[in-house]
Chains A and B, each alone.
Chain A
Amino acid sequence: DAKTTQPPSMDCAEGRAANLPCNHSTISGNEYVYWYRQIHSQGPQYIIHGLKNNETNEMASLIITEDRKSSTLILPHATLRDTAVYYCIVRITGANSKLTFGKGITLSVRP
């Protein structure tokens, strides 16, 4: 069963911020929110993850609501190379925990 729901697609203009939403209303207290992306037929690429605090790295920012039932991945200045399928995944870290991919959201960055 999918534990996250994402819109199927969205687009944004190059250079603008891309805000990708994700709902995970049944998330457990020990589950993290992970974001991965897959550029056409390449291996999925880790972007960021968080538990309850907002997180930022060189690729993106992750905003998690206080109730942890939803989150938003922010790409601050989208480029054409950010066009990909973005997966929001909830997962327990460690304990040999696998990633379970859902449908993901296809982000198209237009010139």
Chain B
Amino acid sequence: AAGVIQSPRHLIKEKRETATLKCYPIPRHDTVYWYQQGPGQDPQFLISFYEKMQSDKGSIPDRFSAQQFSDYHSELNMSSLELGDSALYFCASCRQINTGELFFGEGSRLTVL
């Protein structure tokens, strides 16, 4: 069965650079969530989209932005990168009409040097 696809899987950037992470949800899933997991931390909710509109916002820095496109894929844009942005970034998708079970991708590991 198709799963949530995230790209790139690994990314290395310098401080103050910009990074973009992509997420392709499971077909027919209408909601996308982004999570950040720092080293030794639990996943922290950043932002979510339902039917291409932002539906909820968590502890997402102002330097980060995200959107969901017409094909339901989503992108997380991170600017002015800081060392503390080094983390695993997970995307999850679900279909609201169902039980709302979230399916997670394998994550994108961002390292900021």
- Give the interface of A toward B (CB within 8 A): 38, 41-46, 49, 85, 87, 91, 93-104
B4 contacts which chain A residues (CB < 8 A)?
Answer: 43
Contact B42 A96 (CB under 8 A): no
Contact B96 A44 (CB under 8 A): no
- Give the interface of B toward A (CB within 8 A): 4, 31, 33, 35, 42-45, 48, 50, 55-56, 58, 88, 90, 92, 96-97, 99-107
Contact B56 A44 (CB under 8 A): no
Contact B104 A44 (CB under 8 A): yes
Contact B105 A43 (CB under 8 A): yes
Contact A41 B88 (CB under 8 A): yes
| A65 CB to nearest B CB, Å | 21
Could you pull out 28 A-B pairs where Cβ atoms are within 8 angstroms? A41-B107, A42-B106, A42-B107, A43-B4, A43-B92, A43-B106, A44-B43, A44-B90, A44-B92, A46-B103, A91-B100, A94-B96, A94-B97, A96-B31, A96-B48, A96-B50, A96-B56, A96-B96, A98-B33, A98-B48, A98-B56, A98-B58, A99-B33, A99-B45, A99-B92, A101-B44, A101-B45, A103-B42
